[in-house]
Every structure is written in structure tokens, then in C-alpha cells.
A = this chain, B = another copy of it.
């Protein structure tokens, strides 16, 4: 039921995913609205769970989650939480409601105070940079940024296959004196952390150089940056299309360069990424764009499957357990007073 183009885009995305996916798919929604599609989906091996209600895109997240226990979002997260290592939940529905419902149905990994939404951006050289939090936590404290650093680092190890991913804090300059009270306090927490390959402050432009694997920020800044980038991306596409149509000469050029430009657009397209994981909840939860088309739904499903295959959730859970053990050991060891 999720997203502006549901249920048609979701059903079409499921059909696309069925050609590639190995995991068993369970679709949750209102039978009334999905009836024309169900017999074909069931014949292809998709399990269907009829939910009595759905959460609309405009509802208040917390109220909706509390009031609509039978909604597909709440039901789906509960079902996934019951076997958290071997299942994953994906929705292109109300992201605030998914966040609230995931906290309620899955709970948090022990040691994580604030789960965060993670986005993956393309970099020069064909790599990726991980930015979190993308908007789940507006008012953050320094230890929240530290949790984001741990989660982002583990995610980069698992997804980007980086042995020792670099982690930086997003700031308005590289010098320690820059930043806000929040970034300076978080920097003090991270700068001697033996569990991280922490590189200090990074500027916005370094998201794209390919040198940084993980960039950490509060959810307000992260959200504003991501939406600004989305806006610029669209503007550039529109300007390019406009420019290419100006003269016969450039129209001819467009004909020849369209495959290249389409490749560019594909690299920057949210639909290619499909979904952003909500890290820190005690299970696998993926949030899709509200405007998801069939391709985005397919890729969201594939990313959710990948999380199960790569054992993202158990790895993350174990990491926070080890951090707690290391912390306890450090606190127990008598040390000479440091300066």
C-alpha cells in the first residue's frame, strides 16, 4: 500500500523482483484493493497477508502507528521482527510511520540510543559514500553521532566491502576549531576511538571525492543536504535537456549522447538505489522513496534481500555487544590518571 503510486507500482515492482529474488516474498496490504493482482502473485509463490487498514501518507506517524495496529506497516514489521536475522521489511509508505512502527515493533539494538536512516551517494571513480542520519533524528547529542559513526562504519564494511572504512563528521571546514557545539563534542568523543578509522571533519564536497566512506551528521543537516542535492540533480537534468534541444546542432548531439546522459542519470537516480536502511532497530528495515516507481520497488526488495544475505543485522548487533564489552573492560581496568 506504500508510496504515491501504490498499489500499482508496488505490484509491478514485485513482478520485476520475482525474476531476480531468491528470498520468499510476503506482500501485506488490503485485499479489497489488491484483489485483481492476487491470484497471479500467489501463483508465482508470493504469500499474501490481508491487513484491515493502511497508514496514509499524510497521517501523524505516532498516532497512526498507535491507532492502526492492523495496518500493513505495523503487521509487516512485527512479522519481520519475529525472525530478525533471516527476514527484512521494506516499504515505500509513510517514512515517519515506518520509523515509529519499527521502533515499536522491532525495538532498538542494545547499545543504540537513536536508529538512523542511511543513504548511499555515488562518488567519483564509481564508488559510494554513506551519509547518515538522513532525517530520522533532528535534535542530536554527541553520543548519537558516535552511534551513527559505528553503524555507518559497519554498514560500509558489509555493503561497500571496505576493510577499514573512513568515517568523518560533516562540518563547515576541516580544522578542529570549526563546526558547532554538537560537532566539536562528537569530534572529542571520536578522535581517539580505537574501533573506528576516524578522519575528523569533512566538508560537504568530500562526500563525492571517493575518499570518504562514511559521513556522519545530525538528521536535520543530513535531510536538508540530501534534499538540496536532489533539487540540484533535477535542475541539472532539466537544464541539460533544455540546452540539448536548443538548436539542430545540439539536437543531433543529444541523439548521440543520450545513452551517456541516461547512464549519468541512472547513477544519480534514487530509483536505482531503491531503499535506505533504518539502522539501529533490532531487525532489517528498509525505507523507500514516497515516489517509488516499479524499478525503485524492485531495487528496494533486492536491497532488503541483500541485507539478509550479508547478515547485516546480526553483524551490527554483535558489534554493539562487543563495544559494550570493550567499554566495560576499559572501565574496570585501573589506569594511571591521564592529562
Q: CB within 8 Å of B: which residues of A? A: 122-124, 135, 138-139, 170-173, 178-181, 203-209, 217, 219-221, 223-236, 238-240, 243-244, 246, 249-250, 252-261, 263-264, 267-268
**Shortest Cβ distance from A238 into B: residue:** B124
Kindly list chain B residues whose C-beta atoms are within 8 Å of the C-beta of A221. Answer: 220-221, 224
Contact, CB under 8 Å: B234 / A208: yes
Contact, CB under 8 Å: B224 / A171: yes
Kindly list chain B residues whose C-beta atoms are within 8 Å of the C-beta of A231. Answer: 204-209
* A228: contacting residue among B179, B180, B225, B264, CB under 8 A: B225
**Shortest Cβ distance from A239 into B: residue:** B264
This chain: copies in complex: 2
Contact, CB under 8 Å: B229 / A232: yes
Kindly list chain B residues whose C-beta atoms are within 8 Å of the C-beta of A181. Answer: 139
Kindly list chain B residues whose C-beta atoms are within 8 Å of the C-beta of A235. Answer: 122-124, 208
The 7 closest A-B pairs by CB, nearest first: A253-B256, A253-B257, A204-B228, A205-B231, A204-B227, A243-B260, A172-B223
A sample of 7 more A-B contacts (CB under 8 A), given A123-B235, A205-B227, is A204-B227, A204-B228, A225-B228, A229-B232, A244-B260, A249-B256, A252-B256
